[in-house]
Amino acid sequence: MRRLNLDLADRSYPILIGGGLLSRADLILPFLRSARVALVSNTTVAPLYQEVLATALDKAGVAVTPIILPDGEAHKNWESLNLIYDALLATRCDRGTTVVALGGGVIGDLAGFAAATYQRGVPFVQIPTTLLSQVDSSVGGKTGINHPRGKNMVGAFWQPKLVLADTDTLKTLPDRELSAGMAEVIKYGLIRDLPFLGWLEANMEGLLARNGELLAEAIERSCANKAEVVAADEYETAREGGRALLNLGHTFGHAIETGLGYGEWLHGEAVAAGTVMAVELSHRLGWLSAADVGRVRVLLRRAGLPVKGADLGAARYLELMSHDKKVVAGSLRLVLLKALGHAVTYADTPRDELVAAIDACCRE
């Protein structure tokens, strides 16, 4: 088992990565406030993994209330959140109850927001089961739901007590979802870890073939990067750089997700196309070479990801991007690359360059 720590003073927590962890109730017990757990999952993940976890907790004397939500990004909304509150209230869960998220990023974000708000906050544990959630969404405490006008627009920062990533769960993940997670893995290489980018280029086929050691290595290196960034700027308040850099490609990607309707493209797919737009724009600003742009495109393609944007039209992209959470006093801050492995936040992009970069990426 690999072990990392997210260092947030009295809210620090471990990130445990390895095979066979779902049945290890002993790893979870020290983080429970009482012997009561609300286990939030969905109709796809629960039949696969709920029993092994619930049985292990039950044997350890923990009472488990299962809460099973409909599956999909389209359900990351108030209705699902209310289903969680209803179940917590109906079964008289109290402030000692720990909410445990078992699933991908949608379940993690929903369950986390429920934990942040139920009775003004109860403890929370993340058990991510997709590559994307194991390398990104389970770590760092961002929780929330979508609004029809914008992705992740309602939410809270609420750190888990523990992240338990069982790499065996990736064996049942559909190929398209594995690729979607790879977009966030590649992100860490692009924004701050050039050696990791090279390692991904050398190992992409093995990763997609689900070599367990390679996947564990990629998850650990991704989480190590994320933990460092979050520890330095937990609430994304740094004036420049900081946690916002984790959103490379996301401003464009969120426009695709909202513009097409949630669930049409996978989050990671939208991030991949958005990353190409950010890289293309960085090239137009003179920071990246054409060869750099080509290198990013090739790696994303090899990971099975789209490099062409959804054809919404540049005007619609700009309209949707104007709702981004990185807009400060009306000015859009984009995450761009000064070089491969070196991201910055940038508020001075000329509008015509932005439009040209979007158009170029939607054409090809």
Binding positions for ligand GLY, rule: CB under 6 A: 136, 140, 142, 243, 246-247
Instruction: Choose the contact partner of 109 out of ligand NAD, ligand GLY, none; CB within 5 to 8 A by kind.
Output: ligand NAD
Instruction: Choose the contact partner of 247 out of ligand GLY, ligand NAD, none; CB within 5 to 8 A by kind.
Output: ligand GLY
Q: Is 225 in the site for ligand NAD (CB under 6 A)?
A: no
Among the options 76, 151, 177, 184, which is catalytic? Answer: 184
Of 175 and 205, which has the nearer Cβ to ligand NAD?
175
Let me know if 120 is a catalytic residue.
Answer: yes
Of 140 and 160, which has the nearer Cβ to ligand GLY?
140
Burial 95-123 (b: 16+ CB within 10 A, else e): eebbbbbbbbbbbbbbbbbbbbbbeeebb
Task: State the minimum distance, in angstroms, from the CB of residue 327 to ligand NAD.
Answer: 18
Q: Looking at 15-23, 78-86, 102-110, 289-297, which segment touches ligand NAD (CB under 6 A)?
A: 102-110
Q: Is 133 in the site for ligand NAD (CB under 6 A)?
A: yes
Let me know if 217 is a catalytic residue.
Answer: no
How many residues touch ligand NAD under the rule CB under 6 A: the total is 29
How many whole angstroms separate alpha carbon 332 and alpha carbon 353? 14
Q: Is 106 in the site for ligand NAD (CB under 6 A)?
A: yes
Of 254 and 284, which has the nearer Cβ to ligand GLY?
254
Task: State the minimum distance, in angstroms, from the CB of residue 205 to ligand GLY.
Answer: 26
Among the options 76, 142, 192, 221, which is catalytic? Answer: 142
Closest residue to ligand NAD using C-beta atoms = 105
Contacts with ligand NAD in 21-60 (CB under 6 A)?
42, 44-45, 48
Task: State the minimum distance, in angstroms, from the CB of residue 82 to ligand NAD.
Answer: 18
Task: State the minimum distance, in angstroms, from the CB of residue 274 to ligand NAD.
Answer: 12
Burial 210-233 (b: 16+ CB within 10 A, else e): eeeebbbbbbbbbbbbbbebbbee
How many whole angstroms separate alpha carbon 168 and alpha carbon 181? 15
Let me know if 254 is a catalytic residue.
Answer: yes
Let me know if 247 is a catalytic residue.
Answer: yes
Provide DSSP, 105-156. Answer: HHHHHHHHHHHHHGGG---EEEEE-SHHIIIIITSS-EEEEEETTEEEEEEE
Q: List, in sequence order, the alpha helices (H) in 160-289.
A: 175-192, 194-208, 212-232, 250-260, 267-284
How many whole angstroms separate alpha carbon 171 and alpha carbon 335? 33
Among positive and negative, which fits the CA dihedral 304, 308, 310, 315? Answer: positive
Residue partners of 69: CB distance under 8 A and separation at least 6: 40, 41, 42, 43, 75, 80, 83, 84, 107, 110
Among the options 187, 221, 250, 333, which is catalytic? Answer: 250
Phi, psi of 241 (to 5 degrees): 65, -130
Length of the chain: 364
Closest residue to ligand GLY using C-beta atoms = 246
Contacts with ligand NAD in 242-281 (CB under 6 A)?
267-268
**What does DSSP assign to residue 77?**
S
How many whole angstroms separate alpha carbon 79 and alpha carbon 146? 11
The β-bridge partners of 346 are 334
Which of 57, 83, 52 is CA-nearest to residue 172? 52
Among the options 92, 120, 149, 363, which is catalytic? Answer: 120
Q: In the numeric block, which tokens belong to residue 352? A: 């015509």
Task: State the minimum distance, in angstroms, from the CB of residue 189 to ligand NAD.
Answer: 16
How many whole angstroms separate alpha carbon 300 and alpha carbon 311? 19
Task: State the minimum distance, in angstroms, from the CB of residue 71 to ligand NAD.
Answer: 4
Instruction: Choose the contact partner of 243 out of ligand NAD, ligand GLY, none; CB within 5 to 8 A by kind.
Output: ligand GLY
Let me know if 267 is a catalytic residue.
Answer: yes
- List, by residue number, the catalytic residues: 120, 142, 184, 226, 240, 243, 247, 250, 254, 267
